[in-house]
Amino acid sequence: MSSTPSTTQGTKSAGSSARSAANGNVIKRLQSELMAMMTSPTPGLSAFPSGSDITKWNATITGPTDTPYAGLTFKLTVSFPSNYPYAPPDVMFKTPIYHPNVDMAGRICLDILKKGGDGSEGAWSAVLNTGSVLLSIQSLLGEPNNASPLNGEAALLWDRDQAEYKKKVVARHQEPAEMDVDAA
């Protein structure tokens, strides 16, 4: 006699087509990270997937008070590799920033953003997560690591002339709204 009718068509899958680049474990991990960030948000930090690909996020950091960056908002992109969390995410500043450890293209020099392990200077570990990475970057704004600068001038200026430094920071900074206008 006939079949028990097939059931596959009934399955609802929300956006399954969109998660092309990542495997199930990565998605699960990212979803739980997102859930954690949403349910217990850290002030001044937020992150959210940018589009249909859950491995590409946008993040927002506000500059810590009592630093030259106070009151400024910075946009970043976070891109997770397919073997996340065994490899660190790739984080870049989208907002132009004047900082000793960030170069003109927005690349960040931070130990936890480099793969750890034997013989490597990186400090990434699977126990870290997006929230902690963003928190580290936020604190990096107030405490630059001038020993290994990407922007040498900024490193020098940080030690010599905080007022001039602050001027440079503000001059270089663009609020996200201005960037949108530029882009348009």
Q: So which residues are the catalytic ones?
A: 109
CA dist 23 and 83 (Å) reads 9
Q: What's the closest the beta carbon of residue 14 comes to another protein, in angstroms?
A: 4
What is the number of other CB atoms lying within 10 angstroms of the CB of residue 138?
A: 19
Q: What's the closest the beta carbon of residue 57 comes to another protein, in angstroms?
A: 7
The structure tokens listed for 33 are: 């990270």
At residue 146's C-alpha, the angle toward residues 141 and 150, to 5°, is 85
Residue from 26, 37, 72, 140 that binds another protein (CB under 8 A)? 37
Binding segment toward another protein, per CB under 8 A, in 32-40, 119-127, 145-153, 158-166: 32-40
Q: Does 110 bind another protein (CB under 8 A)?
A: no
Residue from 26, 47, 72, 128 that binds another protein (CB under 8 A)? 47
Q: Which is nearer to another protein, 60 or 146 (CB)?
A: 60
Q: Does 135 bind another protein (CB under 8 A)?
A: no
Residue 96's contacts (CB-CB under 8 Å, 6 or more residues apart) are: 104, 106, 172, 173, 174
Ramachandran angles phi, psi of 102, nearest 5°: -125, 130
* CA distance readout (Å), 107 to 78, 87, 99: 11, 17, 11
Q: Which is nearer to another protein, 9 or 105 (CB)?
A: 9
Residue from 21, 34, 87, 135 that binds another protein (CB under 8 A)? 34
Q: What's the closest the beta carbon of residue 119 comes to another protein, in angstroms?
A: 36
Do 84 and 55 form a contact (C-beta atoms < 8 A)?
yes
Residue 13's contacts (CB-CB under 8 Å, 6 or more residues apart) are: none
Q: Does 62 bind another protein (CB under 8 A)?
A: no
- Say which residue the tokens 């006939």 belong to: 2
> Which residues sit at the interface with another protein, rule CB under 8 A?
1-12, 14-15, 18-19, 31, 34-35, 37-39, 41, 46-52, 54, 57-60, 75, 177, 180
